[in-house]
Amino acid sequence: MKIDSQEALDKLADLQFPFVNLFNHGSLSVEVYKPTKVDLQQPHTRDEVYIIISGSGEFLNDGKRTTFKVGDFLFVPAGIEHRFENFTEDFSTWVLFYGPEGGEKDSNS
């Protein structure tokens, strides 16, 4: 199975939504996300991973701010407030939701 990032973004542009679901398998759901000017996300009910396709900016995750760029991996546990801020116009990212509602138990605890 392969999902081409440009084909995913083209599909998203045709829908005129900031995200589109592209693949599901078990608990895994893969989307591409490209907000315009403002990221209006709310906390999600499952754990989430972002892998940046294009652009750069800042990421607020549970009150902590960091910068991001192409290729970066960002993790957000279920239920945590997060959003992209001050991002470039070309910003887009893969979004991977997985695991049970409420998130998985932290193995580092």
Domain membership flag for residue 107: no
Q: Which of 3, 21, 1, 23 is nearest to 12 (CA)?
A: 21
Enclosing domain of residue 58: 5-36+44-98
Supply the CATH number for residue 58's domain.
2.60.120.10
Domain membership flag for residue 103: no
Domain membership flag for residue 85: yes
Counting the structural domains of the chain, the total is 1
Residue labelled with tokens 């290729």? 71
Domain membership flag for residue 109: no
pLDDT in tens, the chain (109 residues): 899 999 999 999 988 889 999 999 999 999 999 999 999 999 999 999 999 999 999 999 999 999 999 999 999 999 999 999 999 999 999 999 999 999 998 877 5
Q: Could you give the dihedral angle defined by the CA atoms of residues 6, 88, 42 and 8, in that order, rounded to the nearest 10 degrees?
A: 0
Q: Global pTM?
A: 0.93
DSSP annotation of 93 reads E
